[in-house]
Amino acid sequence: MPPTRGNRRTLAATVGAAGISQLPTAAIVVALASIHHEFGTSLEALQWTVTAFLIPYTALMIVAGRVADVFGRRLILLAGTGAFVGGSALAALSVGAPMLIGSIAVAGAGAAAMIPSSMSVITDVFFDAQRAVAIGLWGGATELVSGVGILIGGLLTELVGWRAIFLVCILIGVAILATVVLATPESRDPHASRHIDYLGAAVSVFLLSALSLALIQGPSWGFGAPSTIALFALAAAAAVVFVVVELRVPFPIIDFSLLRRRNFAGSLVVIFALDFSLGALLFFLPLFFQQMVGYSAIFTGIVLLPLTGLMVLGSPLGGKIAAKVGPRPPIVVGLGLMSIGIFLMTRMTTETTVAQLWLPTAIIGFGTGLALTPMNLAAMNAVNPERAGAASGLLVTLSGLGATMGVALTGALFNELQANRVVTLLAGMDTTVTEAQARNLTGLLADTSRARAELDQTVGVGESEAVEVVREAFVSALNSSLFISVALVGVSVLLTVLVMRKEPAAPEDLGPPIGAPPFRPAQ
């Protein structure tokens, strides 16, 4: 039976929700250089424009799905889309970095509700073959936006301005709201438990926020400063509280008993390493291309297409290989390729051009895609079907955590190394600056007012010399910082070989876990 008009509109709304929720962080990375210049903000604040979305998105998604089952999927889809639209509107109107960061966090919380509720609406409205098609379109929307989001962001930033990214979110979000109100029926799970882990969700948000704040602000505050140490201590305490809560509540956000299954535990390591590395790369590479090489936002989006596009191409191939020989070989090969690609990235200089980076980005993208689907197969085949939802939720959590930590930890090391390198290089030119002054001078690449004011007060250094110093410090710090990802992916290769068992060929039509982070396609 063909879908009715109302069902078609519901399908459009749910698929639209899956796609548009991926756009903010997929597109915003290409706009970071413009935001840096307009607001004259620090690199730490730029990191928050990405992590502010990921923290609530990661921490709230699972509990949002359970809330939707209890109180109504249509209701939560409307509420989540409303928050997403509201956060996007505030982001578009932002007059400074703090307002932008807070607005993006609101949009991230809304997206966390949109993803599980839209999938639940699909499973309630569609049946049999129609459901399979609907779920395929839903997953395809996340892949499409994740793959081309960088190019969309580049086009919007270059032709209209970075605020246009959020205007698109608003327009599509309003269309989703109207469609859901007019065409989507309400549904609930009458058997769903009303025991919802609100405390676990709150603690996880606090944990991720405290840890991210300590890592991102640590270089400027000082990692030995009382405020930084206090944040790390609070994060550690929150981690202990979270584990205790999750072990005691009847329906936890994270089911730790799943970690006893070796293939599932190994898959968590893989997904964390993949998204850690992608988070770091997709934060810093647009800045490198725009601030170091001088590319436009549009061309930066085009240059990064091999990274995101080949993920989409490599993923089905990884599934086919896993179906024949099991998931472990393609995971190992994919991770190995990714590690090689990132290592090649660490050879960048101030003279590096796009022609020299096409191959590393292509290797990284293809290797990531090759490992993703087999990783998902290994994880989901390791658990009983009735626990698939809990397993999928844990994969999503570790994936979002990896992306968040990739931006925060790599950024922390980068900020520290760049400032130290600026101090050292200027000392060789008989100019003495403090680390704080060096951090201000790094804004010269974005021509910020703070950097220019600092340069005016720095005796003995001309603008061209200072810019060249900052350029060299940027490349040096980025090369060194990326070795974290090289090492992490390398360790994950070793753990895949040692921990994950060889298993029989698995079917390649396993559906994607709900809510893949916006840095990569859902697999």
Contact 50, 28 (CB under 8 A): yes
| pLDDT score of 399 more than 90 | no
Rg (CA), the chain: 23
- 185: three-class secondary structure by DSSP: coil
Whether 483 and 348 have beta carbons less than 8 Å apart is answered as no
Which residues, 6 or more positions from 13, have their beta carbon under 8 angstroms from its beta carbon?
Answer: 77, 118, 175, 176, 179, 180, 183, 184
Q: State which of 76-90, 179-193, 214-228 shows the largest mean pLDDT.
A: 76-90
506 pLDDT more than 60: no
Is the pLDDT at 131 greater than 60, yes or no?
Answer: yes
- Tokens 């704080």 correspond to 436
Distance of CA 348 to the CA centre of its chain: 24
Q: Does residue 510 carry a pLDDT above 70?
A: no
Place of tokens 């438990």: 193
Is the distance from CB of 87 to CB of 31 less than 8 angstroms?
no
Burial 56-78 (b: 16+ CB within 10 A, else e): bbbbbbbbbbbbbbbbbbbbbbb
Which DSSP string corresponds to 319-343? HHHHHHH-SHHHHHHHHHHHHHHHH
Cβ(20)–Cβ(176) below 8 Å:
yes
Give residue-wise pLDDT tens across range 433-474.
888 888 888 888 888 888 888 888 875 778 888 889 999 999
Written as six digits, the tokens of 325 are 């020989």
Token reading at 471? 């350029």
The answer, yes or no, to whether residue 384 has pLDDT greater than 80, is no
Written as six digits, the tokens of 342 are 């990132």
| CB distance 327 to 503 below 8 Å | yes
**pLDDT reading at 216 higher than 80:** yes
Residue 170 has pLDDT above 90, yes or no: yes
Q: What is the DSSP string of 186-205?
A: P---TT--S---HHHHHHHH
Inform me whether the pLDDT recorded for 419 exceeds 50: yes
Quote the Cα angle for 27-341-509, to 5°: 70
Residue 156 binned pLDDT confidence (cut-offs 50, 70, 90):
very high
Scan for tokens 């001088």, then name that residue. 294
pLDDT on residue 322: 85
- d(CA 372, CA 311) in angstroms, rounded, equals 9
Alpha carbon distances (Å) from 68 to 84, 180, 191: 16, 15, 13
Report pTM: 0.86
Lowest mean pLDDT among 48-62, 157-171, 382-396: 382-396
Helices then strands (H, E): number in the chain?
19, 0
User: Could you give the C-alpha distances from 382 to 260, 275, 388, 508, in angstroms and in order?
Assistant: 10, 21, 9, 15
Q: Which two tokens stand for residue 407?
A: 């931006």
| 79 Cβ contact partners less than 8 Å away, ≥ 6 residues apart | 110, 113
pLDDT in tens, 307-354: 878 887 888 888 888 888 888 899 999 999 999 999 999 999 888 888
Q: Examine the pLDDT at 500 and tell me if it is beyond 80.
A: yes
The encoded tokens of residue 123 equal 């499973």
Residue spans of alpha helices (H) in 2-42? 5-20, 23-39
Which range of 51-60, 255-264, 392-401 scores highest in mean pLDDT? It is 51-60
Q: Measure the CA–CA gap between 473 and 205, rounded to whole angstroms.
A: 34
Query: Tens digit of pLDDT for each residue in 70-117?
Result: 889 999 999 999 999 999 999 999 999 999 999 999 999 999 999 989
Structure tokens belonging to residue 220? 């400027």
Q: Report yes or no: 423 and 88 within 8 Å, Cβ to Cβ.
A: no
Instruction: Compute the average pLDDT of residues 105-134.
Output: 88
Sign of CA dihedral 375, 377, 378, 383: positive
Do 23 and 149 form a contact (C-beta atoms < 8 A)?
Answer: yes
